Structures are given as C-alpha cells and as structure tokens.
C-alpha cells in the first residue's frame, strides 16, 4: 500500500506542476488588463507603470512564473489584485463553504443512488427497474442551474419553505445551515445520485450472478440477507471509490449551483476572479482544486485496496 501511495505522489508532482503552468499561461492569454481597471478611468501612465512594477507585470512571463513558484514554495499564494486580500485568506473563507455543500450533496447522492440501484438490480426487468432507470436518466439530463431556478421559484418563492439564497455554517447554526444548504445540495446530489444508481445497479447485477450468492440462497438464507449482507458488501467496492472521486468533482464543479444560490464558495470566488482578471485568486483557487482532486484520487486508490484485500499483493 505504501508503495502505491509513493507512486501516486510521484505522479502527482509533475501533474500539479503542469496544472500550474497551464493556468499561469492561459491566464495571461485572456483579453483585458487588470491594471487598467485598478488605475481607474483617468489613467495616468506613470501610475500604470508603478502598478506594473509593484505587481511584477513589467517582467517577462517566464520570470513572473518563477517568482510565483518561489512564493508558492514559501506558502504565499499572493494577493488579490482587486481587494488586496491574501489569496490564502480568501481560500480559507470559501473552502469550508464548498466542503459543507459537497458533503451534504454526497450524502444525498448516497442516500438516493445506492438504495435505488440495489432495488433496480434486484427487481431487474420489472416496472421498478424501468422507473429507476428513467429517474436516473432524468437526473443526468437535467441541468443543475435549471433545477436550482425551478426549486427557488417553487419552494422559496411560492411555498416560502426555504430561503432562496445565502449560506450559514453548520458550526454557527445547524438548523439554518440545513435550511440554506438542503436545496443546493439536492441540486448537486440529484445528478450524482443518478451516476451512483447506474454504477450500483451494474455492480449488483454482476455480483448477484456469482456462485457464492447462489450458495447463500441454497443454504436457505432470506433474500434480504443475501442481497444486503453478501451481495451489496462486495458491490460497494467500486461505489466507495467512485464516491471519493465524485467528492473531488464536487469541490471543483459546483460553480453554477453556487452562482444560482448565491453561495460564497469556491465556485463563486473563481467566477468573480475570472471576470475581474484577478490573476492571483484564479491561480490559487485552481491550484488548490487540482491538489484536492489529486488527493481524492489517492484516497480512492487507497480505499479500493483497503476494501478489496486481494489487491494488496498485486
């Protein structure tokens, strides 16, 4: 296991470096100059020149990249061009928000996807299987932003059950945190639930054909015990690893949902930074997202070996 972790870490280092190179270069290729916005409408060329020297834009792009690498190595992600706040501070404020939303979304996805997938596999070919597949296809097809807007109109505007926007930390007020998180979490979790349902169904169908399941039934075990204790335990091996990868996807891909529900998370932070040409914030957020996704992949590999002991000798 330790050799696997070491190999994954060795692969992660050049991957993160390539991500840093691409982000840095692509940022510089975007049209517009952030310093023109900072200088105001009546731009003094002397002020612009001082700003370029202050933020290092007077150097060549490779030199700027090397300076950025040096700052990253010292734990400094730079400052926001727009507000002047340290990028690490902005990440520290928004990352817990996205983590709370991602955890809630994954819980909803697991609670919906796994039982539905098991039911569809056990009742294969029946109307329950067709209904589950239809719901799964709908969950994959409906855009998150559209579902979010519909929920806001129906649940918040018409019924007035839940707030339409905002965010409250679970550590501040658990009840209000639930009220502000449940709708966006359902929007994100519904799509993931569809993915989990289809993978669970496929894994269960494969396991239910194996000899040890037939043996368990031949011994006279009740069907719920055969399905839940014997079949589901082995079918969950790929599901657990998939859930880990989906969690990493949530950390990186909740942009539209956070925008719709006005949640001050990672997604909203990076969208605002891109529109404002805030290079430091975009680079810091993308770098943290890449590291988080690579870490989730590593955890998925480790969990796969922990759950399936046969791979420990592979």
Model confidence pLDDT, tens digit, residues 207-222: 888 777 778 777 777 7
Average of per-residue pLDDT values in the chain: 79
205/203 Cα distance (integer angstroms): 6
Write down the residue that tokens 């150097």 correspond to: 59
- 188, 144 in Cβ contact below 8 A? yes
Q: Is 17 exposed, middle or buried (0-12, 13-18, 19+ CB in 10 A)?
A: exposed
Q: Over the stretch 6-50, which tens digit does the pLDDT of each residue have? A: 777 787 788 888 888 887 787 777 666 666 666 655 666 776 777
Question: How does residue 149 score in pLDDT terms, banded at 50, 70 and 90?
Answer: confident
263/10 Cα distance (integer angstroms): 35
- 196, 275 in Cβ contact below 8 A? no
Question: How does residue 119 score in pLDDT terms, banded at 50, 70 and 90?
Answer: confident
**77 versus 32: which is more confidently predicted?**
77
Nearest CA-CA partner of 9 in 293, 305, 300, 298: 298
Tokens linked to 225: 């015990």
165-190: average pLDDT: 87
User: What's the pLDDT score for residue 264?
Assistant: 83
Does position 122 have pLDDT exceeding 70, yes or no?
yes
Residue 210: strand, helix, or coil: coil
92/291 Cα distance (integer angstroms): 15
35/48 Cα distance (integer angstroms): 7
User: What's the pLDDT score for residue 294?
Assistant: 80
- Give Cβ neighbours of residue 226 (< 8 Å, ≥ 6 apart): 213, 216, 217
Backbone angles phi, psi at 86, to 5 degrees: -60, 140
User: What's the pLDDT score for residue 252?
Assistant: 65
- 249, 106 in Cβ contact below 8 A? no
Residue 86: strand, helix, or coil: strand
User: What's the pLDDT score for residue 44?
Assistant: 66
CATH classification code of 95-313: 1.10.3720.10
The domain locations on the chain are: 2-73, 95-313
- 155, 162 in Cβ contact below 8 A? yes
* Beta strand ranges found along 172-267 (DSSP E): none
Helical pair 232-253 and 266-275, crossing angle rounded to 10 deg:
30
152-157: average pLDDT: 87
114/121 Cα distance (integer angstroms): 11
Q: For the whole model, what pTM was predicted?
A: 0.79
- 217, 133 in Cβ contact below 8 A? no
User: What's the pLDDT score for residue 1?
Assistant: 63
262/142 Cα distance (integer angstroms): 20
DSSP 44-58: -HHHHHHHHHHHTTT
Residue 99: strand, helix, or coil: helix
151/140 Cα distance (integer angstroms): 17
C-alpha 17, offset from chain centre: 21
């Amino acid at each position: 296991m330790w050799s696997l972790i070491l190999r994954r870490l060795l692969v992660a280092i050049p991957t993160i470096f390539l991500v840093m190179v691409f982000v840095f270069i692509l940022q510089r290729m975007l049209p517009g100059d952030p310093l023109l916005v900072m200088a105001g409408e009546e731009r003094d060329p002397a002020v612009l020149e001082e700003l370029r020297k202050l933020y290092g834009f007077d150097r060549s792009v490779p030199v700027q990249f090397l300076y950025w690498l040096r700052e990253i190595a010292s734990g400094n992600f730079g400052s926001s061009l727009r507000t002047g706040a340290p990028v690490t501070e902005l990440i520290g404020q928004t990352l817990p928000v996205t983590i709370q939303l991602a955890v809630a979304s994954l819980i909803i996805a697991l609670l919906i996807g796994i039982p539905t997938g098991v039911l569809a596999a056990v009742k294969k070919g029946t109307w329950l299987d067709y209904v589950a597949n239809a719901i799964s296809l709908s969950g994959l097809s409906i855009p998150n932003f559209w579902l979010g807007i519909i929920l806001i109109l129906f649940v918040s505007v018409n019924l007035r059950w839940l707030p339409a926007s905002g965010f409250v930390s679970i550590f501040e007020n658990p009840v209000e945190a639930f009220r502000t998180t449940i709708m966006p979490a359902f929007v994100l979790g519904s799509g993931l639930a569809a993915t989990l349902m289809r993978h669970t169904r496929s894994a269960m169908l494969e396991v239910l054909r194996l000899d040890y399941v037939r043996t368990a039934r031949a011994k006279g075990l009740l069907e719920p015990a055969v399905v839940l204790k014997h079949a589901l335990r082995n079918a969950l091996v790929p599901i657990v690893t998939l859930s880990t990868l989906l969690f990493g996807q949530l950390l990186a891909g909740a942009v539209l949902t956070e925008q719709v529900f006005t949640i001050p998370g990672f997604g909203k932070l990076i969208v605002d930074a891109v529109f404002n040409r805030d290079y430091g914030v975009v680079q810091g957020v993308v770098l943290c997202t890449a590291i988080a996704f690579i870490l989730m992949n590593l955890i998925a590999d480790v969990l796969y070996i922990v759950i399936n002991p046969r791979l420990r000798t592979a």
